[in-house]
Structure 1
């Protein structure tokens, strides 16, 4: 049987049920507050972890012949990359050396494309456009990795191509290829970027089966005193045949990303004294050329801009191309930097 409740003895203190309820409620509120604060702490910690994730790119330094560079070249490359990352206004940039490898880091996610661009050699040139032709569309994804293999002798590549090479010589002499000849030129599509670099520039341009992914990934072997072939980053890309370089990186004194009055991002370039004269002479050549009056600004194997020159330019110039803020900052950092003493190959 249940035990009957026993009344408290006379004189014993009585428990106030109302007080018990209030204390219990306060305890629950305090507990909920602790849990809420703990949840906020977890949320804040998660946000900090997300911000610290950042973007990382590992590259390996190699010489033009594919061999490992010396320590001095690696350290110089590290310093130049650090300057480029800072000039590009990226968040918390750093560059660490691990043997012949360099690790580029920034504090925010989603900047791999910028890091890849800043890791380019940085060989800048200004050339008159001799011709242009649309290439086939490029599939999406990361840009081609530079081919650091040794460029073979032209005779080796000609032997590999056989009859296709002889046909290509006739095409470059007579102009545009006949559509029926394109199939016979298919072996050119099997060439590595290093093998493409061994071909005469006019053949690289005229053969339709030599495509922009091959051209963009070529080793940096183009001589400033000879013609060149390069593509832009459009989709589909345009392949350009370019005249000898009339000016280069040594002629640039300043490069700055800025916004125009119309709200467009551009890169303003200021030249040295001798560089200004070379740039003016180049624009005069372009104007005198008649219909082909474009001037290409090339960086490594890429045409970053190919404006039409309508008058002789005697002062500074601006590179425009519907750039975002980030793209303009990165391009200005590349143009304003010295070329790297090595080639960087993306690892992984």
Structure 2
């Protein structure tokens, strides 16, 4: 007999990794995927944030604040109402991506395109609209250029205080019978008027503001006090050189306007078409009749926030709607229509910075 062959040794199985190691690998893999997704998500958010910042930097922004009055700063309700009216104006002016935000005691106006600061400044005006007959006009000295004059927010002093400051120049101004081109000696004697602040100019009699050649349109435009509708007034236009107007009492106001729309005429000229309320229409008709009856002095001025935006000659009595023309661009006509068609702001605003 042959001896039995030795029993075969079973093969050694490969080592089995502990279960916790496999779990660790899975967890690490999951965490890596989560990290990768987080990186991608953060990257996407960063791109979105960057796009928003670029959009903001490519737009125009204007910050304004309410001018304090005797009653103090406006309350939140007034600021919210002002924000809503400004937002309506920006939308009516057809500006890109308009927004208005209240930030504390200030309001920030924004649009999505650059180069619209002038439009935002105009739209932030109070919106005090009047129609007045022109009693006289005289050319002012050429504008000095640069930024528009900053509105003076100081209180208007007493007239006696301003007269004392001017001394002999005030007495000389009282003797001016009619405006025009005074002789050089008179102009030299009136030189102290040029040093008055806009608030001090507001304290002068209306006739003196108009007749004194050294009271300039830059001073008049920056006066802090609103022009009262029930008295004569002095206002300038935006020409260069500007024209200084002596104006009669206001016969028609913003409350008489029902609609205002910018449109282009058959000749390609941009105008603002105005429709009046029933009572406003009658007042407008009466005003045009007064202008026609005045003969050659037949101009009617449209003033907005103390600035003459148009002063056309009235050739016939107007019994219907009217148009304001002034060689407007499309943007200027849109902005003007937005101002005229809006309610006046409950507060007066000034630009910050």
- Worse-superposed segment, 15-24 or 269-278: 15-24
Which residue does 2:315 correspond to in 1?
Answer: 310
Post-superposition offset of 1:15? 45
Question: Unaligned 5+ residue runs, structure 1?
Answer: none
Distance 1:322 1:23, change over 3 A: farther
| TM-score with structure 2 setting the length | 0.83
Per-residue CA deviations over 1:273-301 (Å, capped at 9, x if unaligned) read: 00001111111101111111100000011
Distance 1:35 1:344, change over 3 A: closer
Cα distance between partner residues in 2 of 1:172 and 1:7: 132
| TM-score with structure 1 setting the length | 0.84
Question: Unaligned 5+ residue runs, structure 2?
Answer: none
**Number of residues paired by the alignment?**
347
Cα distance between partner residues in 2 of 1:220 and 1:268: 29
Distance 1:130 1:27, change over 3 A: same
Kept in 2, the 8 Å contact 1:65–1:149? The answer is no
Cα distance between partner residues in 2 of 1:190 and 1:48: 45
Which residue does 1:100 correspond to in 2?
Answer: 105
**Which of the two has higher C-alpha Rg?**
2
Kept in 2, the 8 Å contact 1:65–1:148? The answer is no
1:4 to 3, 7, 20: 7
Distance 1:6 1:329, change over 3 A: farther
- Worse-superposed segment, 167-176 or 51-60: 167-176
Cα distance between partner residues in 2 of 1:104 and 1:11: 70
Per-residue CA deviations over 1:281-336 (Å, capped at 9, x if unaligned) read: 11110111111110000001100000010111111000011111100000000001
Per-residue CA deviations over 1:69-120 (Å, capped at 9, x if unaligned) read: 2222222211111111111010111111122211110000000000000011
Distance 1:24 1:121, change over 3 A: closer
Kept in 2, the 8 Å contact 1:176–1:206? The answer is no
Cα distance between partner residues in 1 of 2:7 and 2:84: 88
SS of alignment partner, residue 173 of structure 1:
coil
Cα distance between partner residues in 2 of 1:148 and 1:205: 22
Superposed CA RMSD: 7.3
Post-superposition offset of 1:190? 0.8
Post-superposition offset of 1:178? 3.4
Kept in 2, the 8 Å contact 1:91–1:106? The answer is yes
